[in-house]
Amino acid sequence: MSAAANGAGVPVVVTGIGVACSIGVGVEPFAASLRAGRTGIRRQDGQVSAPLAGFDFAHAVGAVPGLPQELSRRALRKAGRSLPAVQAAVAAALQAWTGAGLPAADLPGSQVGVVVGGNNVTGAAAYRMAERFRGDPVAVPGRFALHVQDTDHVGVLSEILAITGEGYTVGGAAASGNLAVIHGARMVRSGAARACLVVGAMTELSPVDRQSYLALGAMADPAAAPDDDVLCRPFDTTRRGFVAGEGTAALLLEAEPSARARGVRPLARVAGEAMALSANSLADPSEEVEVAVMSTALARAGARPEQLDYVNTHGTASRLGDEVEAAALRRVLGRDSGAWVNATKALTGHCLCGAGAVEAVATVVQMTHGFVHPNPHLGMPLTGELRFAGRQAEPARIGLALSNGFGFGGLHSAVVFAGEVA
């Protein structure tokens, strides 16, 4: 876990985290839900999903611990008309920003970057606007030309937080959140920024998106199991496919010397990361490339697989995806590994573009709070060779964790977090 293992560069730490998803808006509510194994998945109107139900922007901003009034007022004014995904991202970002102590810090905006993971996240909004357009074309506001762009996240976050360093979106389908962490870490490590706000964008599916995932066979079909309201059972032999979740999360990544100079205790270190393609445009994952990214991320962290305490799998509950990931994990971890293998999507649903960031935050929360959250509906694991999290939370000391993120189109990524860095 030496800081130099990632090559010559500045060590990168996590100094703030934030989240807004079906099981919690705010780090402590989210942590409590994780510990309790509370799932946000529910059946409603013939669909099973984990919606960000009842999210109220003003309430979410008001609930950010320690948020200065000026920043609160600014957020409400600048994002009051934004799409739900952007408002949720602002709420998560304010939690991370405030948690990192940045409102009081003397950190010039030009030395801060922002990377938002996500592509095509405005499908549901475009669908709603198309319906309005069919009723009355003139009712489409000019504002929508801004809102329909994924990069609206970048503009709104930068304006609220006065960020004037580098900023952009990184697209990687369901690997987007992880790719944002990877890009943000590299931005800081290279010295291009002292700190970088990393966000995984919330994906709000339109009915068309949903239908295409069902037709592809990737999404669990609620009509095929009318009595099953859980539907999402990662790594269970009875799993049926992924269940969509709505959620976003933010991490404030910072150069370790900067955090030290500010007297801020890091939550974790971004110790290593890896991303690779499998030269495949389809939806199926590659065991070889999964093994490669996990091994490379560990090597870059200067760590050996047997040192791993925890793996936050991509674990969507898809038939093929879980089988391939379990096989890859058996190869990476070996037979004697004591690492917990967990699936946050059992609780949050699959947050798609946001997933990697939500799960990075879930991983850091379990490291700092000392537990492994349940995988509550895992009854018949597809293999006995991995130490899957069970139906109850377990106390755990997690010093080294790995979080996977894979996306359609051959995108594979893994990030290693190391704890106890202060």
Contact residues toward another protein (CB under 8 A) are: 76-77, 80-81, 136, 138-143, 146
Rounded to a whole number of angstroms, the minimum distance from the CB of residue 79 to another protein is: 12
Residue 155 CB, nearest approach to another protein (Å): 11
- Min dist. Cβ of residue 77 to another protein (A): 7
In the bound complex, what is the minimum distance in angstroms from residue 145's beta carbon to another protein? 9
**Which lies closer to another protein via its Cβ, residue 54 or residue 135?**
135
Q: Which is nearer to another protein, 140 or 261 (CB)?
A: 140
Q: Which is nearer to another protein, 140 or 277 (CB)?
A: 140
Task: Tell me the three-class secondary structure of the chain, residue by residue.
Answer: CCHHHHCCCCCEEEEEEEEEECCEECHHHHHHHHHHCCCCCEEECCEEEECCCCCCHHHHHHCCCCCCHHHHHHHHHHHCCCCHHHHHHHHHHHHHHHHCCHHHCCCCHHHEEEEEECCCCCHHHHHHHHHHHHHCHHHCCCHHHHHCCCCHHHHHHHHHHCCCCCEEEECCHHHHHHHHHHHHHHHHHCCCCCEEEEEECCCCCCHHHHHHHHHHCCECCHHHCCCCCCCCCCCECCCCCECEECEEEEEEEEEHHHHHHHCCCCCEEEEEEEEEECCCCCCCCCHHHHHHHHHHHHHHCCCCHHHCCEEECCCCCCHHHHHHHHHHHHHHHCCCCCCEEECCHHHHCECHHHHHHHHHHHHHHHHHHCEECCCCCCCCECCCCCEECCCCCEECCCCEEEEEEEECCCEEEEEEEECCCC
| 402 residue type, one letter | L
Tokens of 234: 């990662």
CB of 75 to another protein, least distance (A): 12
Indicate the residue among 77 and 397 with the shorter CB distance to another protein. 77
Q: Please, which residue, 80 or 257, has the CB nearer to another protein?
A: 80
Question: Would you say 143 or 265 has its CB closer to another protein?
Answer: 143
CB closer to another protein out of 138 and 223: 138
Task: State the nearest-atom distance from the C-beta of 158 to another protein, in Å.
Answer: 16
Identity of the residue, 140 or 320, whose beta carbon is nearer to another protein in the bound complex? 140
* Shortest distance (Å) from residue 170 CB to another protein: 26
Structure tokens given for 100: 């990192």
